[in-house]
A and B are shown apart, each in its own frame.
Chain A
Amino acid sequence: MAYRLVTRTETSLRAQLLVPLAAIVLTLLAGSVLFSLLGKNPLAAFHAFFIEPLSTRYGIGEVLLKMGPLLLIAQGLAIGFRARVWNIGAEGQLLAGAMAASALALHFDTSESAWLLPAMVCVGTLAGAAWAGIAAWLRTAFNANEILVTFMLSSIALQLLYYLVSGPLRDPMGLNFPQSALFSDAAMFAPLLDNTRVNNSLFLALAASLLAWIFVQRSLSGYKLLIGGLAPQAARYAGFSEKKAVWLGLLIGGAAAGMAGVGEVAGPLGLLQRSISPGYGFAAIIVAFLGGLHPIGIVFAAFFMALIYVGGDMSLVSVGLPNSSATIFQGLLLVFYLACFLFANHRLQKVEIRH
């Protein structure tokens, strides 16, 4: 008996739904092997990972809080990824947004204006887009690989952040510790649920998801990026420029990440400090792929990844799992997803072997 791989003529919706589910099941299986090897009861571990966070109001709030930036960044990245524009520096774009918004919040530290927060969101979004725009410019003008440039720009953004918190934006009353003063209330997102940390910035992520959906499904530019990604030749014949796709892909991704940065400093943090993001920019890459680069899929993927993050912390305290197990979980999830994805656009065909 032999099989051969045949490209599906049309992508099957059923396959697209089954792929992430299969990846999750396989990850859980591999996870239980791993947990057993570590001498932990897999069921207790899974309970801590997936049930505990959702069994308290605070836990749900934390999952939603984590989901916000992941969702926002992943929606932005997916648009670029669809056009094969590989922005892996969302972490730096997030920092750029956080720094710009913080500068504004600290400059108008006594302001009570209702416009302060919207202004911060705008400035942060623009800063994120501008930071990614550097990579777009270097790619379009000089052909410099955007994977590397966006990544290097992340490292540079981190040093810029260190510089700002230990110099220009340092809290003058803070005994020279490397962090800014606390933001005023006008510079903060209002809480969404009582007794949790989740705040209104989640609506930005949801609105962005809606926009992404409209952009991809309805608009002409979304169509162009889709074509550019799936079939570069076709795109070229249709007269779409690659340059435009690069600019659009990176700017949208950067803008979304910048906005997510504002959500962090004006949300759970309330100030600018050395560590702002626990790797949202990288985790969002996994979210984007796991969601099938589809705006609706990404919503579910972001929720699931947020659950893994929060569950990882829970299992740390309640089961005693090493913190790296959350990292391994994320890696496994993407590995299995990519393996299963083969069957979303290919199918196995039985080949008759003639003797």
Chain B
Amino acid sequence: MDITDLTACELIAQLEQRQLSSSEIVDAFLYRIKHLDSRLGAFLHVDEEQARRRAAEVDRRRQAGEKVGPLAGLPIAIKDNICTCDQKTTCASKILANFQPPFDATIVRRIREADGIIVGKTNLDEFGMGGSNELSAFGPVRNPWDPDRVPGGSSGGAAAALAAGMVPLSVGSDTGGSIRQPAALCGVTGLKPTYGRVSRFGLVAYASSLDQIGPLGRTAEDVALLLEVLAGHDPRDSTSVPGGVPPYRQLLNNRPEGIRLGLLVDQLGQGVDEEITQAISEAAKVFERLGMPVIEIGLPHHHLAVACYYIIATSEASSNLARYDGVHFGYRTDERAMEEELAQERRLWAEKGLAALPEEPDPPIVRLYRKSRAEGFGPEVKRRIMLGTYALSAGYYEAYYLQAAKVRRLIRADYDQAFSQVAALIGPVTPTPAFRLGEKIQDPLAMYLFDAFTVGANLAGICALALPCGQTRSGLPIGLQLQGPPFAEHVLLQLAYWFQKETDWHRRRPPLTALDRIAAGRGDTP
């Protein structure tokens, strides 16, 4: 038996029956990280020593008959835009390369209290801004199914680590598809909970009205296990919703019979790979076999979702990222070089004015901000800050931000209308499977359009889940998206759970040849 092939729930069962110890489990996954990750790039930081120490501690407590938490002894990876007080939190940005948070995010605290073992922090597109994980300041993540392809993003490290068997559970964040899209491209299951379901305290903000933390696992059951720990009200996040948390894992046993599902036919066909259209149609038949009628349904304003999302998300980002100023924390430019440069500019300006420089030299503090940010942020982050600042600036606010906020309500109303007819929506996660590294990097708009099917759920604040539902002829995973009304996570998880009882796509692992190629890149074989 290969320990790293087991699901989180299977591992828990083995731990409870004393068939395995947490130390054995942690060692097996750490071994895998060691042999694969220098080429895969899924982790930005791994704390082996602490993971082993905590595993031994959980084993000791279990041995002594003490009560242990629901995640006791399981290795878990955390996306590196979520604060951990004992490991750096970089957001894959040079500007936070050495940032050591003074506190734990609420979900990190909850995982620790549930006796989960945080083995490391996973790679992402800088500040969550990207859909391929090529936009990390510390190097791209590769897709375990084909190392020449992207794992998706921005939680690319979280999904790739799972797919490659380096952890049984991981935590990501989803602002416009950042959990679901990499889950789809890497063949794992990932949930974007309803806005307000999970505390965002300690999540580094990108777009505050859209950001949500969520679990990734290999199965719906694993995702339910982790969601139970993550979810719940937190007085430190006023947008987290008061009230209890349903027993998601237990609720999986209820088979959702007789409920109606809506197939998003507009998201199939033109502009979408034929193999994906085919796989989604097959998935719809699986639900019909399970006793759930599927009707065709549309979201009339959904073709506006990408434009709406990129105005709102970048506007919020331009405000949120104002905090990186080279003063309170993070990267600061070389002050002496800056002063010299400014002195020279001031001389030129005094002599020749506009003939020499395009604009008047800044006061030193302003130049410090500008230069620190220019050197600390990557090109996509700058592009989004620029776009958002433009959309909010005098003269453009009404045409862009306000208009997008109105369209947002229309998108939400489409969902409300749809959910008055069906319990959940089914459709694709992405228009194509994983693309090649470098394929879209020169074309920001093409990268944005790849988010067409995922951004709607964030704009509306509803819950949505991605799970594997097929493979292309070339062997790449295809993802199925389930979208449900606010706080219907239990319904989506039930649908995914019963779908996974009928199919085995979630059991497929990346081919050994691909993993061998990954390991070979490092010069040794596991």
- Co-assembled chains A and B: no
Question: Which residues of B are in contact with A by a Cβ distance under 8 Å?
Answer: none
Residues on A close to B: CB < 8 A? Answer: none
